[in-house]
Structure 1
């Protein structure tokens, strides 16, 4: 639980939210008719929070307990009945509630840890056991630098269901530009999209990700997903566009064409294609020592070729650069050709990086 969250205050706010909901339906004079519901809600919350309450929470709980006592007198005017009910609460009700809550909490934390891990995040870094207070209906946990990179942050969003368990509803990826804060990018990805945190980082950089989904039975289909930063909503949010795979853009065909022109068959390898489908750039070392990058761009129906400065270049320009490098360093080229003939696979692994 975060030290900034006062669970006792959240308990009171939760009841107020319920009151507002009921008043919208039944009118503003409803409170006197739901005394028992208020008593059950607040007394259950007090029993849940009292153990391990912070000093600030205890201050609020003292006020809540006074309200609970007043409600109890209204419901049970007979003092003997009240004493018996309190004994029952101490001896039976509260221990049972505590045991049920502990079980629910432990099961929920285990489920959430698996869900967070499936998104490519480390649940230990989120400190779910400390930061989920199990009082708020909605809450978020920020994770700065999930992989040691300070320019990428993730905020995981949780919502409580009817059973009282938290479910991970979405997460917000934030890509920051320290030199130009105005170019910061963020987008909230629904968990149902199946996009993990690394793929989200690639999407925020403008690259595309291929997603597979079921279309019934054992059949699967795929689609490209890409954030369009040229077309924003009224709130300044980029559009997440979807394109059926192979619809006017076939990654394998496009990459194979580039590989043939450059005489680089390793570009069309399964490893390289899988990397591009995940939104990664493919780094290709040239004979002149420079590095060129390839990435899928289904929105524009092409494989984008970028130079070392991440500036777009054409395939023809890249081909001319290669030819020029071969003319300048014929001896180096001859040596490398011999190495390829001796061990083609090893040379491919050295020239291709994902």
Structure 2
């Protein structure tokens, strides 16, 4: 859930940071003091326009303090009562509605861009949270999301947004963390320019490769496989990423492997698509193997990786050998059973049984 943020307190803190930057730039002369007072007055009253609608109990205290400071600044900046009255009329009839209208337009524009970004990253179901987080007073925003995965795992995603100088929010990346039984299994920070979708992030954090399209320096569209090395980190929240740009035909690899492991009649195009997304394909091997096998793309070796029912890598040769051993055992058992029946028949004839 979203932490209850005191927007009025955040407004005050934002001003203090802004004031330090201005004083560093202008100094503390009498002329610069006047400029800073005017800047503070405009900054605070604009904030009051935004926050005076439905403040919570924690915000009311800060808002009252900000109103008091703003009123005192107004008297200093506009000491003439008549001029101050004209200014108050202008702020109420023009400045306030104009600022609120621009603020809403800016917020709507940010929401449209961010919703589109969420959609491309497979996070559309979380778009409803956006409006609650764009409060304008926070320069950095983190939106937490949690999704239940299989095998007692969960995916925690924290989307980072940042406000620019114009007040518009921009996507700055997301942190994806896979947890098992509440304990962190793997985590990685994806930057602002990432095209890795949430489901692809899960697959990457599970050690599987994902096929991505990208634009070359010549403006052409090319493809590459990316895969995390979960044993090597290049930073606190960054795994080493391996890239494979070579030509690699998954469909050809599948055509070579599937008949050997007894998987026939499968739709190879659908399988290729799933493997390119980094998904793992499970299927029940036919007798005599009779176990669940898992297929994954393996661009490092230009092949298809097979895992056994314990999720351990297993070669095609090993599976073929198992199949042959199982078939041989079945034949031997059949021959033994036949011989046993023939022996019983001979004995029944010898002793006149039956």
User: Shorter-chain-normalised TM-score: which range?
Assistant: 0.7 to 0.9
> Any idea what the Cα deviations from partners look like across 1:326-345, whole Å, max 9, x if unmatched?
55679xxxxxxxxxxxxxxx
Q: How does 1:103-142 map to 2 (within 5 A)?
A: 103-124=105-126, 126-142=128-144
**Higher mean C-alpha displacement, 66-75 vs 200-209:** 66-75
Q: TM-score, normalised by structure 1?
A: 0.82
Question: Matched residues in 1 for 2:272 and 2:240: separation?
Answer: 25
1:83, distance to aligned residue in structure 2 (A): 1.6
Q: Which residue of 2 aligns with 1:21?
A: 21
- Which has the larger Rg? 2
Is 1:312 matched up with 2:313? yes
The RMSD of aligned alpha carbons is 2.8
Q: Which residue of 2 aligns with 1:168?
A: 171
Q: Secondary structure at the match of 1:5?
A: coil
Q: How does 1:35-114 map to 2 (within 5 A)?
A: 35-114=37-116
Q: Secondary structure at the match of 1:136?
A: coil
Instruction: Report if the CA contact (8 A) 1:286-1:322 is conserved.
Output: no
1:12, distance to aligned residue in structure 2 (A): 1.3
Q: Which residue of 1 aligns with 2:207?
A: 206
**Higher mean C-alpha displacement, 94-103 vs 236-245:** 236-245
Question: Matched residues in 1 for 2:37 and 2:221: separation?
Answer: 54
Q: Residues 301 and 276 (structure 1 numbering): CA distance in 2 closer, same or farther, change over 3 Å?
A: same
1:274, distance to aligned residue in structure 2 (A): 1.3
Q: How does 1:198-237 map to 2 (within 5 A)?
A: 198-215=199-216, 219-235=220-236, 237=238
Q: Which residue of 2 aligns with 1:278?
A: 277
**Higher mean C-alpha displacement, 35-44 vs 159-168:** 159-168
Instruction: Report if the CA contact (8 A) 1:287-1:326 is conserved.
Output: no
Q: Residues 197 and 31 (structure 1 numbering): CA distance in 2 closer, same or farther, change over 3 Å?
A: farther
Instruction: Report if the CA contact (8 A) 1:207-1:296 is conserved.
Output: yes
Q: Secondary structure at the match of 2:110?
A: helix
Q: How does 1:224-303 map to 2 (within 5 A)?
A: 224-235=225-236, 237-246=238-247, 250-262=249-261, 264=263, 269-288=268-287, 289-299=290-300, 302-303=303-304
> Any idea what the Cα deviations from partners look like across 1:186-222, whole Å, max 9, x if unmatched?
1111242211110011111111100011236873100
1:120, distance to aligned residue in structure 2 (A): 1.2
Question: Matched residues in 2 for 1:203 and 1:27: separation?
Answer: 51
Instruction: Report if the CA contact (8 A) 2:251-2:269 is conserved.
Output: no
Q: Which residue of 2 aligns with 1:351?
A: none
Q: Secondary structure at the match of 2:193?
A: helix
Q: How many residues align?
A: 326
Instruction: Report if the CA contact (8 A) 1:297-1:304 is conserved.
Output: yes
Question: Matched residues in 2 for 1:154 and 1:40: separation?
Answer: 37
**Higher mean C-alpha displacement, 11-20 vs 40-49:** 11-20
**Higher mean C-alpha displacement, 126-135 vs 264-273:** 264-273
Q: TM-score, normalised by structure 2?
A: 0.82
Instruction: Report if the CA contact (8 A) 1:259-1:266 is conserved.
Output: no
**Higher mean C-alpha displacement, 295-304 vs 157-166:** 295-304
**Higher mean C-alpha displacement, 83-92 vs 205-214:** 83-92
Instruction: Report if the CA contact (8 A) 2:159-2:173 is conserved.
Output: yes
Question: Matched residues in 1 for 2:257 and 2:267: separation?
Answer: 9
Q: Which residue of 2 aligns with 1:9?
A: 9
Q: Secondary structure at the match of 1:77?
A: coil
Q: Secondary structure at the match of 1:309?
A: coil
**Higher mean C-alpha displacement, 204-213 vs 187-196:** 187-196
Q: Secondary structure at the match of 1:162?
A: coil
Instruction: Report if the CA contact (8 A) 2:19-2:36 is conserved.
Output: no
Q: Secondary structure at the match of 1:193?
A: coil
Q: Which residue of 2 aligns with 1:197?
A: 198
Question: Matched residues in 2 for 1:198 and 1:86: separation?
Answer: 54
Q: Secondary structure at the match of 1:310?
A: coil
